Structure 1
Amino acid sequence: MYGIKNTLKKLTFSFLVIAGVAGCTAQITQPTNSPQKETAQAAAYEFTLEYETLEMKDGVKLAVTFYRPVAKKPGETFPALIEMVPYRKDDFFALSDYGYGAYFAKNGYVVARVDVRGTGGSDGPVPVSEYSAAEISDAEQIIDQLSKKEWSNGNVGMYGLSWSAFNSLMTAHRKPPALKAIIAAHGSIDLFYNDVHYNSGALTLDYYSHQISTDNALPQSPDYRIDETYFKNRFDKKPWIFTWMREQQDSEFWRQESIKFKEPLSVPAYVIGGLLDGYRDFVLDVKQHSTAPVIAEIGPWNHAWPEYGAPGPNYEWRQRALRWWDYWLKGVENNVLDEPRWMAFMRTGQPPTADPAIVPGYWRCEKNWPVQGSTVQRLYPQTQQKLTGAPTSKTTSDSLKYVAGAGMAAGGWWGEQTGDMSTDDRNSLVYDSAPLTQAMEIMGNPLVHLRVAADAPFYQWSVRLEDVAPDGTVSLVSGVSINPSQRHSRLSPQALTPGEPATLTAPIHFTTWRFKPGHRIRLAISNAQFPMLWPSPTPGTTRLILGKNTWFELPVVPTRDATDATCPLPAPEPSDEAPFGKTLEDTGTVFTRQRDDEKGESTFTTTSSVVWTQYDNEFRSAESYEWHVKDASPANAHFKGKRRNTFTIDGVKIDLLGEIKVESDATHFDVTFTKTLHKDGTLIREKTWIERIPRRFQ
């Protein structure tokens, strides 16, 4: 690794290292005087790290790190757990991967952490896009190969968070014989409507779209060689954002690997979501799109595993994961399928706050979904900003001026921790219920049905469900964006006819919430959710037509006392820390919102930086992004950003900078992406891509 000859020499006094020439294998056992060694001795198995490659049918070799238990008796075999992502196992993810690999290896599982072809340490060119057919085919081949290893018992599982949740679900759909079960956290079965690029069909320019293409341009680990093969396969490859920007409508491009449009899933799945994560709908999606057993859990946190996700409360999910794997991969008879298969955290109506450590609420364990005793309550917006249980007797309408820069209080994606939503509500139509006389708990996807009209062919609608406290503060419960061009068909979009009424229907993103007595339920409707959604191009006015065709429904569940519904959950366990490196600095993501009402301008920025070491090498990564729009000219919004990765490997400094700018007008997007590579301060290569892409219903 990392200039492997020098690295192995440096490790002589702290590691027993066995470097295998065939297969390019390095085995590392932990030193006898390390705390990790003591932990491993106390567990069932010690383990080794092995750096190998697996060759695919087309000759491409994929880099894999094995966390392999040391057999206690001759001929002992183990199941394999695969996680395959492009996030560079040898540098970006080496430290965080270690805790999970160590945990499962010490409990009798071989963990295979694989870099997607064309990324990290794997050979081949960068794939054409995420979740390519080649990637999923590789996963099938890896499963087959590992099931036939001399150390294997023939059974394989896939697992992961985000990208590796996606490809675990996609691979499971193909039903490779050795794949017996999966664990997926924060994934999706619908790549157009429920992913980071088009939020419910509306363009979302998240910083990920720039981040991934910058990182894909880094040299291949562990040698970080800069040569013509590197330029051809990585640096000179056109960034993925150009492909995503051209694919502005649902199509076969998005549906090729989206299992929502395929036969139900038949591989058992343990799925985990978070109420503050953009992918939280997938938990219920998988539950409803599966014929195999599914265990589903949804906590109060963000895009993270349950033992550390913020905010808490947290629990140790890996204990249940072991029992899940034991049942499906080792044939251990336990009661994992006899326990409640649906668990969700019921938020009990916290006041608006941007950074709570713990969310007030309690865990609800249910035998299955839907929750027994569930009902639906329909509410209708009325004149004078009221919300009642019956439609208005006379059809009327409320007008809404489009304010393109509104929406920053809700953050960059539905579900982030938010402060008081009153600032967003000032540029919205709001409808409030009477104060509740008794508590109401909801769990599921509220449904909204709107009758609207507009003065231009295209606007977007943003719908937010909120909680208004007696003191007037407003908490965000959940929301949804609606692209009206897809109201009849996602595959065949149609423009609005100015002045002509249209009906829009959409499920609000999955949520849980207790509305307390004295609180009011609020429905807030606007035509902007900046910067989450790219602003629609025409300043003007829309109308909400009140009456029997404008309503929304709440998924009400029986209210419980927290002491009656508490689920017994183990406390988080500390993870083993990688003995070969540490994080020196991590700022997290810092958000800044600037709104000038007088000028009608909105600017949203994010910054982050991280520094870490592995062996004697130092790694730095920093990024900054900005979204900007003027209310008077919403067509001319922009997004720009920089990401710099500086890796110092055996004293050689590799500096890769990625810069992006997306500007729009009424008819097109202008996208510019530049990669710049320096080595020890000398410019090695610079390449810029520029493309003007027609704007289609975005």
Structure 2
Amino acid sequence: MRWNTALLKKLAGCLFLTGGLLGCHGTAVLSETNTPYEFVVEDGTLEMKDGVHLAVTYYRPVAKKPGETFPVIMEKVPYRKDDFFTLGDYEYGAYFAKHGYVVARVDVRGTGGSGGPIPVSEYSQAEIADAEELVAQLSKKSWSNGNVGMYGISWSAFNSMMTAHRKPPALKAIIAAHGSTDLFYNDVHYIDGALHTDVYAHQIDTDNSMPQSPDYRIDATYFHNRFDREPWIFTWLRQQQDGDFWRQESLAFKTPLEVPVYLIGGLLDGYRDFAVDVSKTAKAPVMAEIGPWNHAWPEYGAPGPNYEWRAKALRWWDYWLKGKANGILDQPARMAFMRTGHAPATDLATVPGYWRCDQQWPVDGSTTRRLYPQTKRQLGNAPSTQGNAEKLRYRAGAGMAAGGWWGEQTGDMAADDAHSLVYDSAPLTEALEIMGMPQVRLRVAADAPFYQWTVRLEDVAPDGQVSLISGAAINPSQRFSRLKPEALIPGEPTTLSTAIHFTTWRFKPGHSIRLAVSNAQFPMIWPSPTPGTTTLFPGAETWIDLPVVPTQHETSPSCVLPAPEAGDPAPFGKELESHPPVFKSVRNEQTGDSTFTTASDIAWTLHGNTYRSAEQYQWDVNDKAPAKARFRGERRNVFTIAGREIDLLTVARIESDATTFHVTFTKTLRENGRLVRKKTWTDHIPRRYQ
């Protein structure tokens, strides 16, 4: 999971109320009432069955008439509601509270303001059991009407769906943005079954080690529950293959959801497939939409076009939690943004294209077009009959043009394609639109027991510029079974199959369709250890199937969306400065060295206190020694609270050789400049088909 701080927006009308509570008089025009609710913000705790107290912030409407009750919307994440996420949480809490909903924002046990030790990992049995208990308790509050919804982006999308699977009686509906149903194949630890070292792993291990809010006590309990806990990064690296650890809460291996769900995905988000997966299997009503943006909510995700998803969410909640017959289920149930082919760019504000609304996926009239890689770099309608083998030398540092995961905007893919086998169709004579998950099959061989393959679908413009459409990685050890991996037999041909991640795209006339096949996707996928050569066999067993849909030229009337609304900034704090992640890639073709770096920092104030966080990360590999890949991360949080400075620095290192991952993680805590505690964890973890 990747944590995501909501963008701050400005709206006048907020004020402090007595007793330390915060209130906000909204000024937006509301669809359900003529005037918005005033609301209060209250902090409290709820006790779980084992005695652990979970911290809750309530955004609670003020009743307009005696005895008035409200539905409850719960979000539960470990992202520290009292410091890191306070400003962003306020905006969403205020929005729904003004419309007559209690929002309950809860810190996962062992994190933020909640008690207990840090859980064993994400989505632990304790976490999901807590969610069930929270739903029950919230439904029984004096101000509750008994109906509860869960919602969230990323982590809270994951646990909303996991909790819904358990069907607590009071949970009537959920909203999930950027979630996953398959934690081994579609999360940030192993992308498509291949090891991915994401900055999130370092971020969460650092922030989980901060003292418990709001007192930030540094004492024996803090050390036992947080600082001295082994970082999760070790846990994830010890689980290099699919199995019970990953499947325990993965919905892909459970019975279908029976709780109504509104799904939101993004074409530039690594989790986008989940919206399709849940749509196919759910036994309750589903509303699903996939827009052009990254790991973000639709009203601010980049690139646009954006819209006010919260207006749709209110209609969803009104129907399921307030019992209002508003026709929400009569509108088209599936919506996706069809991207019109565009030049590669990393800074587009808006993508050209249109919205298409349908009742189902695949859409009516969909067909499949199969294309075959042929010799001479051609992609044709029939398999090659010449039987020539295509050799590819493995260059471990190739792949940086595609970025850190299958998401975000990318520039020209020429640098990656130079170290790939590429196959181009003839220039198209008419437009071709695709929507879905292209299927790929490759007949391959290798000179070592383990390599990795990646496939990328691209658009080649007449001027030679290459745009990435989507891609996927293949871990060949899982070609027969994800649960029982097998090494390749050097020199023996085998067949690999995968689905490219969900995408939409209109290929314009004059453009060509490109399939690029590579053995490296650095730094997205940890490099395989052996230098050498792989072979691709064009022919009847090597192809790509494109999900072709009928061409449409503009947004249909049923797809008209509300414009983004201004949000309420928290009246008790603000962002001071922010430098979003800057990515830099350097490759030396002469030496074979490749380096990918990213750095960011942010500072903000809350109630007169100051908070700062900065981080920097670097990945390195050399083509001649791919086994010796390296990752280094550094994150520092400095909180100055009532004149007291808490300074936590963490440094992580992962270095590999042919057989082992060597992992070191160091935490250093200072208070008012004085060293309080320093602790280092080290392990040497065997490589297992990664």
Flag whether TM exceeds 0.5 (same fold).
yes
Query: Is residue 452 of structure 1 aligned with residue 444 of structure 2?
Result: yes
Identity %: 69
Q: Deviation of residue 39 (structure 1)?
A: 8.9
Of 29, 33, 40, the match for 2:23: 29
SS at match of 2:470: strand
Report whether the alignment pairs 1:467 with 2:465: no
2:572 aligned residue (571, 574, 580): 580
Question: Is contact 1:401–1:542 with CA below 8 Å preserved after alignment?
Answer: yes
Matched, 1:382 2:374: yes
Q: Identify if the C-alpha distance between structure 1 residues 337 and 566 changes in structure 2 by more than 3 Å, giving closer, same or farther.
A: closer
CA distance, structure 2, for counterparts of residue 223 and residue 36 of structure 1: 31
CA distance in 2 between counterparts of 1:38 and 1:677 reads 45
| Large movers: runs of 4+ above 2 Å | 13-18, 26-30, 35-44, 563-566
State whether structure 2 residue 479 is matched by structure 1 residue 487.
yes
Q: Within the alignment, does 1:15 sit opposite 2:10 as a pair?
A: no
Partner of 2:509: 517
Structure 2 portions without partners, runs of 5+: 1-13
Q: Which amino acid aligns with 1:423?
A: A
What are the superposed Cα offsets for residues 174-194 of structure 1, whole Å, 9 maximum, x if unpaired? 000000000000000100000
CA distance in 2, matches of 1:354, 1:304: 16
Shift in Å, 1:354: 1.1
**Map of 2:415 onto structure 1:** 423
Match of 1:132? 124
Q: Give the TM-score normalised by the residue count of structure 1.
A: 0.95
Q: Could you tell me how far apart the structure 2 residues matched to 1:17 and 1:616 are?
A: 18
1:440 aligns with 2:437: no
Q: 2:343 aligns with which of 309, 327, 351?
A: 351
> 1:176 is matched with which residue: 130, 145, 168?
168
Change (3 A) 1:690 1:225: same
How far apart in 1 are the matches of 2:83 and 2:93? Answer: 15
Number of the residue aligned with 2:332 = 340
Q: Which residue of 1 aligns with 2:639?
A: 647
CA contact (8 A) 2:331 2:558 kept: no
Deviation of 1:564 after TM superposition, in Å, equals 4.7
Q: Is the 8 A contact 2:431 2:509 kept in 1?
A: yes
SS at match of 1:241: helix
| Cα distance in 2 between the residues matched to 1:43 and 1:655 | 45
Cα distance in 2 for partners of 1:660, 1:66 equals 36
2:228 maps to 236
- Taking the aligned partners of 2:362 and 2:384, their CA distance within structure 1 comes to 31
Residue 269, structure 1, aligned to residue 270, structure 2: no
In structure 2, how many angstroms separate the alpha carbons of the residues matched to 1:28 and 1:478? 45
In structure 1, give the amino acid aligned to 2:544: F
Q: Residue 555 of structure 1 corresponds to which residue in structure 2?
A: 547
Deviation sequence 1:372-397 (CA, Å, 0-9, x none): 00000000000101000111123221
Structure 1 residue 44: Cα displacement: 2.4
1:35-114 mapped onto 2 (5 Å cutoff): 43-114=35-106
Is 1:163–2:164 an aligned residue pair?
no
Find the aligned partners of 1:342 and 1:27 in 2 and give their Cα distance: 41
Contact conserved, 1:36 with 1:579, CA < 8 A, in 2? Answer: no
Q: 1:662 aligns with which of 649, 654, 663?
A: 654
1:16 CA displacement:
2.7
Q: Of 655, 659, 683, which aligns to 2:675? A: 683
| Separation (CA, whole Å) in 1 of partners of 2:627 and 2:551 | 46
Q: Does 1:616 align with 2:599?
A: no
Please list the CA deviations of residues 626-661 of structure 1 after superposition, one character each: whole Å capped at 9, or x if unmatched. Answer: 000000000000000100000000000000001000
- Quote how far apart the aligned CAs of 1:563 are: 5.2
TM-superposed CA distance for 1:566, in Å, is 7.2
Amino acid at match of 2:672: D
How far apart are the structure 2 equivalents of 1:43 and 1:670? 60
1:405 corresponding residue in structure 2: 397
Number of positions where the alignment pairs a residue of Structure 1 with one of Structure 2: 675
Q: Is 1:605 the counterpart of 2:597 in the alignment?
A: yes
Q: Which moved more, 1:516-525 or 1:284-293?
A: 284-293
- 1:505 maps to which residue? 497
- Aligned counterparts of 2:217 and 2:35: Cα–Cα separation in 1: 39
Contact 1:17 1:29 in 2 (8 A): no
Deviation at 1:674, TM superposition (A): 0.2
Q: Contact (CA 8 Å) 1:363, 1:566: kept in 2 or not?
A: no
Determine the C-alpha separation between the residues in 2 that align with 1:303 and 1:253: 25
Q: Which residue of 1 aligns with 2:6?
A: none
The aligned amino acid for 1:149 is K
Within 1, Cα distance between the matches of 2:660 and 2:359? 51
* Separation of aligned partners in 1, 2:432 and 2:232: 45
Q: Distance in 2 between matches of 1:687 and 1:433?
A: 56
Aligned residues of 2:355 and 2:555 also touching (Cα < 8 A): no
| Alignment-mate amino acid for residue 15 of structure 1 | F
Q: Which amino acid aligns with 1:572?
A: P
Task: Report deviation, 1:615.
Answer: 1.1
Q: Which residue of 2 aligns with 1:596?
A: 588
State the shift of 1:323 in Å: 0.4
Alignment match, 1:4: none
Q: CA deviation at 1:36?
A: 5.7
**CA separation in 2, counterparts of 1:557 and 1:92?**
43
Give the aligned partner of residue 244 of structure 2: 252
Partner amino acid, structure 1, of 2:231: P
Residue 37 of structure 1: how far off its partner (Å):
7.9
Mapping 1:531-550, distance limit 5 Å: 531-550=523-542
1:395 — aligned with what? Answer: 387
1:48–1:70 CA contact under 8 A, matched in 2? yes
